[in-house]
Chain A
Amino acid sequence: MSLQGIYYLQFVAVFILMTWAVYLPFRAGQLYNGPIYCMAIGGYFSAFVARDFGWPFGLALIATVALGAIMGFIPALGFCRTTGLVTAMASIALIYIIQSVIRNLDFLGGSRGFWNIPKVGYLLPLAYGIVLIVGLFIYRFDHSRFGRAAEAMLVDPELAAAMGIDTRWLSVALLTISSVIGALAGAIFAFTLGTIFPESFGFALLLYVWSMMYIGGRYTMWGAIISVPILWGLPQWVPHAVAEYTNILYGALLIIIIIARPEGIVSRDMLQRVRKMVRIRFR
């Protein structure tokens, strides 16, 4: 496979993970940007221990998960109190805070960036292994008692609380898990790029992830699998003259999808119909 193809597949894995990380708290009605903050932490931490301490990639990944869980848990304690727009906008502050902190830490290279991250040969199969595990986890979660509790929180938080769901701890758990997924995606992202900057984890990335979730469909986990390869591949497939305007295309696509198809490309109705078709075929 060509080098460009490998890069493409790895970025697709990273962004599928990121979209799922934002999708998971959205199940409970929280539009949370903590995954991007944890992506910066995971990316910088795994790159730092692998380059300067010579840790093997597997160990760095496990440590990243642990760190992501701790760093995601602390803000989650605060954000379990808020809902809707307040969470969405106040958690953007997290991104600015982590960018500013990284810029001020000299051993992470500051704003000059973090260079010479070692190459890992088996990154592509590992990345898709992680995508598969996280996907299985989210699928199981969606169809479990907790998934239904989250669904109830999305529809009406007060009713959910009245039904005996501990909404506060459910959202702490969801926000922490989504932070861990973000940290994992950050580690793969850093080792794919080889060089990372504080700006790599900024507002632009947030816009990409939001577009991918809203265009793909934010009420099912399958939206990410459809939308991420299309949106990430778009700049490479269209003619070169058009490729400069991809951001305009993204913005227009986002507006059109939200107005014309509020649930995104893969809606829950569509999923039902597909399920029915499959059942008839294999009866």
Chain B
Amino acid sequence: MEILIAQIISGLAMGATYSLIVTGFNLLFLVRGVLPFAVAHIAVLSMYAGWITLGQTNNNLVLAIPVALLAGILLNVLTEPTFRPLALRRAFLETVVVGLGIGIIATEVMSHFLHQGRPITFPEVLVGGGGMVRLGMIVFSLGDVYTLLGAIGAVIGLLYFLNHHKEGRAFRAMAQDLHVARLLGIPFNRTGIYSFAICGLLAGLSGVLMAITLGSVGSGLGDTLAIKAVVLMMFAGMGNLKGGLICAFIMGLAEALAMAYLPGRWTEAVVFSVIMIAIIVRPQGVFGSQA
């Protein structure tokens, strides 16, 4: 029982990092009608940025986390011009391919130039100080708690921004109808840059949280994460922010429990079959698509 609770907490922490990336995907899908495949790669790149800062400044955590967040924002805003003509043309499948192209470049940069392509390991300072929480018999790492709190805070902040801030209302107007929103004078380019910046912030935060929960990272993580996020997004329903959140947490939980209780050899095949069949049976997603 104690092990089960510890697994649930670590699964929820993993789900929290997925949820941020899925929310970023959904946000850009709603505002711009694009599928920014490379957001996951940018999250991993911002992990590298944080790691380099830690190495250069003798493990200065206060500096490393803002640098990682800033790297996420900057990199994601840099990709915005490539999506702009496609967003105007309403060419959705093409944006997937542009995202894949950016992903190829990012993976190649990671596997050639950063640490000679070897996996990097984060120092103990970032991994929740290596602290463990003991509640009776239940033992779990402090990093998982930080991750969960960080992700929940970010998501609540985002929902508040979307519903109560002027710029957030502009986002929702864009999501409802691009052409009418532009006719009413909502600036297309400015909302685009803001939405990519917010998505980049989510990616950077997710990178920091993944550094805390995983502790190490290799160049292949970007592709795996991107596919997981897209599959989750479709499983929940394209553009459904809340459904995406719920599904991300369920996915994290299922992974943690499968790792603990199922024999490892066939897990991947079974998980992917279940997801594929679910998507085929319900192409609009479990919670319904918003587009």
B223 close to A203 (CB less than 8 A): yes
Give B94's nearest chain A residue, CB to CB.
Answer: A258
Check B137 for interface membership: any CB of A closer than 8 A. Answer: no
Separation of A147 and B227 alpha carbons in the complex (Å): 32
Please indicate the chain B residues that have their CB under 8 angstroms from the CB of A84 in the complex. Answer: 92-93
> Does the CB pair B275–A85 fall under 8 Å?
no
Determine whether A96 belongs to the interface, using a CB cutoff of 8 Å to chain B. yes
The A-contacting residues of B in range 222-279, CB under 8 angstroms, are 223, 227, 230-231, 234, 238, 265-266, 268-269, 272-273, 275-277, 279
Contacting residues, chain B, for A259 (C-beta < 8 A): 82, 85-86, 98
> How long is the Cα–Cα vector from A82 to B100 in the complex, in angstroms?
21
Task: Report yes or no: B98 in contact with A258, Cβ–Cβ below 8 A.
Answer: yes
Chain A 64-96, CB within 8 Å of chain B: the 1/0 string? 000000000000001101111110111111101
Q: Which chain B residues in 18-64 approach chain A with CB under 8 Å?
A: 35
Give CA–CA (A93, B156) in the complex, Å.
32
Given known A81-B283, A252-B101, contact A104–B96 (CB-CB < 8 A)? no
Query: Does A31 lie at the interface of the complex (its beta carbon under 8 Å from any beta carbon of B)?
Result: yes
Interface contact A97-B104, CB-CB below 8 Å: no
Whether B112 contacts A244 by the Cβ 8 Å rule is yes
Asked whether A101 lies within 8 Å of B269 as measured between CB atoms, the reply is yes
Contact A78/B277 with A97-B269, A252-B105 known, Cβ cut-off 8 Å:
yes
Point out the residues of chain B lying under 8 angstroms from A247, CB to CB: 104-105, 107-108
Cβ of B16 within 8 Å of any chain A Cβ, yes or no, is no
- Give the secondary structure class of B's interface: helix
In the complex, whether B97 has a CB less than 8 A from a CB of chain A is yes
Query: Which residues of chain B are near A245, meaning CB under 8 Å?
Result: 108, 112
| In the bound complex, CA of A216 to CA of B251 (Å) | 38
Contact between chains at A262 and B269 (CB < 8 Å): no
With CB as the reference atom, state the residue of chain B lying closest to A78: B280
Interface size class of B (residues with CB under 8 A): 35 or more
Complex Cα distance A85/B234, Å? 9
Q: Does A271 contact B (CB under 8 A)?
A: no
Cα distance A86–B234 when bound, in Å?
7
A101→B271 CA distance, assembly (Å): 12
Closest 4 CB pairs of A and B: A251-B104, A254-B101, A251-B105, A100-B269
Question: Residues of B with Cβ closer than 8 Å to A?
Answer: 35, 82, 85-86, 89, 91-94, 96-98, 100-105, 107-109, 112, 223, 227, 230-231, 234, 238, 265-266, 268-269, 272-273, 275-277, 279-280, 283
- Give 19 new A-B contacts, CB below 8 A, not counting A82-B283, A96-B268, A100-B272: A78-B276, A84-B92, A86-B234, A89-B231, A90-B231, A90-B276, A97-B268, A100-B269, A101-B269, A210-B97, A247-B105, A247-B107, A251-B103, A251-B104, A252-B101, A254-B100, A254-B104, A255-B102, A258-B97
What are 27 A-B contacts defined by CB distance under 8 Å?
A78-B276, A83-B283, A86-B279, A86-B283, A88-B93, A88-B96, A89-B230, A89-B234, A92-B227, A93-B231, A93-B272, A96-B268, A97-B276, A100-B269, A244-B112, A245-B108, A248-B104, A248-B108, A248-B109, A251-B101, A251-B103, A251-B105, A251-B108, A255-B82, A255-B98, A259-B82, A259-B98
